[in-house]
Structure 1
Amino acid sequence: MKKVIVACGGGIATSTLIADKVRQTLDEAGIDYQLTQTTLSELVYEVSDADLIVTSMKVESDFGVPALSGAGFLTGINEKGIKEQIISALSD
């Protein structure tokens, strides 16, 4: 099972929109996953056993885990590319 963390500034609104798109992407790809939503400030507490971080904005910290911007899920720009990056990052 892959652990995916979705993080945004407040941990509610934009992370929920992004999380829904991530779930849809992973379900369609048949990837078994656990998804957690959090705030960017609390990301450090959630990341220890994560396989992927998807955020609403660029994160400068290196957590030793692949991190992708999911902002395109909010704007509709490059959604296909983001989906491909997510699947690639979680493929064994």
Structure 2
Amino acid sequence: MKRILIACGSGVCTSTVANQKISDFLNENGYEGQYKMEQCKVTEIVAKSENFDFCISTTAAPAGAKCPVLAGLPLLTGMGMEKLYQDILEQMKK
């Protein structure tokens, strides 16, 4: 079971959009039931990161995270989605 942390500025709006898009993508790629996601504020990444396999942040993440942090801005802009999705699949395979 992969644990994925989804972060945005407030931990509510943007991370909810990201959560849904990532869930849809993972389910379409055969990972349904193989992950759990939690949303948080970007300022909570460092403190929470040791309990997660990787993080996706829709805004600039602080240094010091204990897990890989992927840039999630493509989830909002649509630019660079293929690269982000490939990075997510790579993290899921680890």
TM-score by length of 2: 0.88
Shift of 1:80: 1.6
Shift of 1:24: 1.3
**Count of residue correspondences:** 92
Shift of 1:27: 1.1
For structure 1, the residue ranges without an aligned partner over 5 or more in a row are none
Residue deviations 1:29-56, cap 9 Å, x none? 2221000001012223322220010001
Aligned to 1:27: 27
Separation (CA, whole Å) in 2 of partners of 1:57 and 1:40: 7
Query: Which residues in structure 2 correspond to 1:57-76 (within 5 Å)?
Result: 57-76=59-78
TM-score by length of 1: 0.90
For structure 2, the residue ranges without an aligned partner over 5 or more in a row are none
Q: Which moved more, 1:33-42 or 1:44-53?
A: 44-53
Report the aligned-residue RMSD. Answer: 1.3
Separation (CA, whole Å) in 2 of partners of 1:29 and 1:56: 22
Query: Which residues in structure 2 correspond to 1:12-91 (within 5 Å)?
Result: 12-31=12-31, 32-91=34-93
Separation (CA, whole Å) in 2 of partners of 1:62 and 1:88: 21
Please give the secondary structure, in 1, of the residue aligned with 2:66: coil
Please give the secondary structure, in 2, of the residue aligned with 1:42: helix
Residue deviations 1:44-83, cap 9 Å, x none? 3322220010001232313131111111110111112111
- Give percent identity, aligned residues only: 27
